Amino acid sequence: MTTYVLTAIGDDRPGLVAALAAAVDEHGGNWVDSQLALLAGKFAGIVQVELPDGEVEAFLAALPALADEVGLDVEASAAGADGSGAAHAVEGVPFRLRLLGQDRTGMVREVTSALTSQGATIDALRSWAREAPEGGGMLFEAEAEVRLPGGVEADGVRDALERIAAELMVDLELDAAE
């Protein structure tokens, strides 16, 4: 079996996920993991699939047809740094980060820069904007799963985040993952 990571994007409409799932299944593949989202009228997804070695070439050749058939552009990349698809151990201590504040440009850059300065890895990030209650403008919210490398103390990361929290006027929480 060979593992691939697929990225897919297209104008949202019914049947996009079904078409991609059918292509995987028709080539004897297994849909292992995915994250799918609708953003600004576009469907976007990232999918991990496992394919029998003998079906990889035919599967990759079939992907461009999805653009013509359903409007879904799909790119495939062999998983793993060596292309083998072998899983690489992710080391570190997991934490959850939550952010809430008035929306303004540069917030994600500031937070991710603070995390990077402490050696943290972002495993997942979800962000969105919404109307504040009682006409208070737009609020920006984000949730992230981060991993701190061995030897890095959570207090150091909290300090780095608290320095920017005051500047950004946001509430930031960093808690150990469950």
Phi-psi region of 118 (alpha: psi -120 to 50; beta: other; left: phi over 0): alpha
Beta partners for residue 135, in sequence order: none
- In angstroms, rounded to a whole number, what is the distance separating the alpha carbons of residues 172 and 162? 7
Q: What residue spans define the domains of the chain?
A: 2-78, 93-176
- pLDDT by residue (tens digit) across 20-71? 999 999 999 999 999 999 999 999 999 999 999 999 999 999 999 999 999 9
- Supply 163's token pair: 């320095």
- Confirm whether 2-78 and 93-176 share one CATH topology: yes
Report pTM.
Answer: 0.76
Kindly tell me if the per-residue pLDDT of 82 is higher than 70.
Answer: no
Q: Residue 24: its pLDDT value, please?
A: 97
- Supply 82's token pair: 């060596």
Q: Residue 21: its pLDDT value, please?
A: 96
- In angstroms, rounded to a whole number, what is the distance separating the alpha carbons of residues 11 and 70? 9
CATH 3.30.70.260 fits 93-176, yes or no: yes
The burial class, CB within 10 Å (0-12 / 13-18 / 19+), for 131 is: exposed
- pLDDT by residue (tens digit) across 88-140? 455 788 999 998 988 888 888 988 998 998 889 999 999 999 998 887 788 99
- CATH classification for the domain delimited by 2-78, as one of 3.30.70.260, 3.40.50.11720, 3.10.20.30, 3.30.450.20: 3.30.70.260
Contact criterion met (CB below 8 Å) for 55 and 28? yes
Largest CA distance in the chain: 59
Nearest C-alpha neighbor of 170 from the set 95, 113, 112, 104? 104
